[in-house]
Amino acid sequence: MQIIHCEPERHAEAILAIFNEAIANTTALYDYRPRTKEKMAAWFDTKLKGDYPVLGIENEAGELMGFASYGAFRAYPAYKYTVEHSVYVAAPFRGQGLGKALLKEIIAAAGRQDYHTLIGAIDAGNAASIALHEELGFLNCGTVRQAGFKFGRWLDLVFYQLLLATPEKPVDD
């Protein structure tokens, strides 16, 4: 297994498949309908324009087993040191520690880019993701009750936060 930087030409189709499986079968995403190739292209474009990494983990055969990224938390200037991350592992590879490896890489990348706060928005029923975040030092910083409705039920959204030592000298502008 190796951590790689995902490229649209090589990895968009695999990332799209991972997203769409999660949409259809889990509450990891609060989407209802599968994403399209066009939405995937726009997603990669946003990551590129924002200088946000898209990291993946591949097996020896070059198969993408999972990916992680982050992006803007909110669109106001004062949030410039805060990013919201996401980690997805393909269904056949869950439970093997890949999410932990990817989240560690995302934390390191955020530090290198001088971000200060990482936010994870997690469905309250996703015990594995919550445990992973807590293991890596994230703290629960709140719950939005009944934030989503999927699979015929209301879903609570919990927020987990990790503070980094960066940036050394934050500025207002």
Q: How confident is the model at residue 173 (pLDDT cuts 50, 70, 90)?
A: confident
pLDDT digits 0-9 by tens, 120-152: 999 999 999 999 999 999 999 999 999 999 999
Q: With residue 114 as reference, give the H or E element that holds it.
A: none
DSSP 3-state assignment of 133? helix
| Residues contacting 26, CB < 8 A, separation 6+ | 126
**Pair 117, 81: CB distance under 8 Å:** yes
Band the pLDDT of 40: cuts 50, 70, 90.
very high
Q: Which residues pair with 159 in a beta bridge?
A: 121, 142
Helical (H) or strand (E) element with 50: none
The total of other beta-carbon atoms located within 10 Å of residue 48's CB is 11
Domains and their CATH numbers in the chain: 2-163 (3.40.630.30)
Helices (H), 26-115: 37-49, 98-112
Residue 109: pLDDT band (50, 70, 90) is very high
Give the model confidence (pLDDT) of 41-92 as tens digits.
Answer: 999 999 999 999 999 999 999 999 999 999 999 999 999 999 999 999 999 9
Q: Across the beta sheet with 117-123, what order do the strands follow?
A: 2-5, 54-58, 64-72, 82-89, 117-123, 153-163, 139-150
Question: Residue 140 pairs with which residues in a beta bridge?
Answer: 160
Q: In the predicted model, what is the mean pLDDT of the chain?
A: 96
pTM (global) more than 0.85: yes
- pLDDT tens for 2-21 read 999 999 999 999 999 999 99
User: Residue 55: is it exposed, middle or buried by C-beta count within 10 angstroms (0-12/13-18/19+)?
Assistant: buried
Q: Which residues pair with 161 in a beta bridge?
A: 119, 139
DSSP 20: H
The reported pLDDT for the residue numbered 1 is 86
